[in-house]
Amino acid sequence: MSPETETLLHTPLHGEHVALGARLVPFAGWEMPVQYAGIVEEHNAVRGAAGMFDVSHMGRFEVHGPDAGRFLRHVSTWDVTTLAPGGGHYAAACREDGGILDDVYVFRLEDERWLIVVNASNAPKMRDWMARHVAQFDARLVDRHHSTAMIAVQGPDALARLDAVIGADFVRSLKPRRCGETDWEGHTLFASRTGYTGEDGLELVIEDQGGPALWRALLEAGVTPCGLGARDTLRLEAALLLYGNDIDEETNPFEVGLDWVVTFDDGAEFLGRGALVRAKERDVTRRLVCLRALDRGIMRHGHAIRNDGADVGVVTSGGFSPTLGLSIGLGFVPPALGEVGCRLEVDVRGKALPVEVVPRPLYKRPKKN
């Protein structure tokens, strides 16, 4: 075993991945499954039935105390204080200059107990950043990253499979973006009707000792284990942003279509407010758009976007879409070239791949009859 592998962190479900023969790779300091049977097979399982992902590498922090909501409003762009217990909302956490430190999900569990979920690659940074700011409030930050496991169960059949494992009454009580807690086999189980695939389903957080048993129960209920490879192709089809690719500290929310997660009208002095007010008042110089290939070839992160032979932007995420059967991507272009129907080219290893700007998202799940 290499020194690099020895230093990697393991989730509470690591033994389950080894037993299933998953291909494990380093990711954000963790050894994580990239695939089991194959990326396309796992992708199709989520689009067609139900798949599950170990997402325990994502950061989880509870905030307790009378000022917990005020603190989370201070570090979030969206007014989370409007959430009632059982509610959740997507938001951004920004630097003073408006750059995105991370995109996060905030849940209100009780009046004075909240949960914030952050990206795996940003968990240490966000923990330290929040710890510095929480000292100003009558609130306490509780790190739940290593004491819990997190499993995302996604797909058109996800809720039906979850009914059999954690109870239909509880599962069906959760509306989109809502959350709740229940007892499962003697462990506290948190569930939210959220996901990162474009499909319906729940994201589950359970005490680390209960994680393996919950994973096995989901396997027995017919849920397909899926790796990070399929998670990336699924989220790309749904045009969901990936931190480090599509957004980073040099990106502001208005450039990437996140206007809806920035609240100004409550008057709160959240971090980055002044810079974001100024950013909203001026026109953006670049816009993140969805791209669809018009010929054979695979666009990838970092490939140049061209118009009439001149570089005009860059692909931030790209790959092959198993659902659509062609290459798709996200990329920054000048606003004048970001209109739906605009024809551009992507430089794929020296070959011009014709692409078209298309509506967001690239894939939308069919409506139920």
Instruction: Place 366 in a pLDDT band, splitting at 50, 70 and 90.
Output: confident
- 71 domain-assigned: yes
- 107 domain-assigned: yes
- When divided into structural domains, the chain yields a total of 3
pLDDT beyond 60 at 369: no
* Rounded average pLDDT over 281-294: 95
* Rounded average pLDDT over 55-78: 98
Which three-class secondary structure state does DSSP give residue 105? strand
Amino acid letter, 201 = G
Cis ω before 124 (30° cut-off from 0): no
Mean pLDDT of the chain: 96
pLDDT beyond 60 at 102: yes
- 346 domain-assigned: yes
The share of the chain scoring above pLDDT 70, in percent, equals 98
Buried b (16+ CB within 10 A) or exposed e, 54-65: bbbbbbbbbbeb
- 117 domain-assigned: yes
Decide: 27 and 8 in contact? Cβ < 8 Å. Answer: no
What residues pair up with 125 in beta bridges, in sequence order?
none
* pLDDT for residue 93: 98
| CATH code for the domain of 99 | 3.30.70.1400
pLDDT beyond 60 at 266: yes
| CATH code for the domain of 320 | 2.40.30.110
For 126, the domain range is 59-143
Q: What is the pLDDT of residues 140-189, one digit of tens each?
A: 999 999 999 999 999 999 999 999 999 999 999 999 999 999 999 999 99
* Rounded average pLDDT over 131-145: 97
- 276 domain-assigned: no
What residues pair up with 90 in beta bridges, in sequence order?
105
Whether 182 and 216 map to the same domain: the answer is yes
pLDDT beyond 60 at 20: yes
Cα separations (Å) of 108 from 94, 116, 158, 274, 338? Answer: 20, 9, 24, 26, 37
Instruction: Place 368 in a pLDDT band, splitting at 50, 70 and 90.
Output: confident
* Rounded average pLDDT over 120-142: 98
